[in-house]
Amino acid sequence: MKVIADTREKNSLVAAELVSKKIEVDFQHLAVADYLIGEIAIERKTASDFISSIINKRLMRQLEEIKQYPKQLLIIEGLEEIDFSESKFHPNAIKGMILSILTDFSVPIILTKDYQETAEYMALIVKRLEKKPIEIGLRAKKRTYNLAEQQQIVLEGFPGIGPSLAKRILKKFKTIKKIVNATDKELGKIERLDKNKIKNMKKIINEKYN
**Higher local confidence (pLDDT), 135 or 171:** 171
The pLDDT tens digits for 14-70 are: 999 999 999 999 999 998 999 999 889 999 999 989 988 888 888 988 998 898 898
Q: With b meaning 16 or more CB within 10 Å and e meaning fewer, what string describes 114-140? A: ebebbbeebbebbeeeeeeeeebeeeb
Q: Tell whether the model's pLDDT for residue 135 goes beyond 70.
A: no
Q: What is the pTM of this model?
A: 0.66
Nearest to 37 by CA among 118, 144, 143: 118
Q: How sure is the predictor about 200, in pLDDT bands with cuts at 50, 70 and 90?
A: confident
Q: pLDDT value at position 208?
A: 85
Cβ atoms of 9 and 3 within 8 Å: the answer is no
**Chain centroid offset of residue 199 CA:** 26
Burial label for 22, CB within 10 Å (0-12, 13-18, 19+), is: exposed
The pLDDT tens digits for 139-188 are: 666 667 788 888 888 888 888 888 888 899 999 999 999 998 999 989 98
Give the C-alpha separation, 45 to 149, whole Å: 25
The pLDDT tens digits for 64-120 are: 889 889 899 999 999 887 776 666 677 788 888 899 999 988 999 999 999 999 999
Strand-strand pairing, 25-28 and 109-112: unpaired
Domains recognised in the chain with CATH numbers:
3-130 (3.40.50.10130), 147-206 (1.10.150.20)
Provide the residue count of the chain: 210
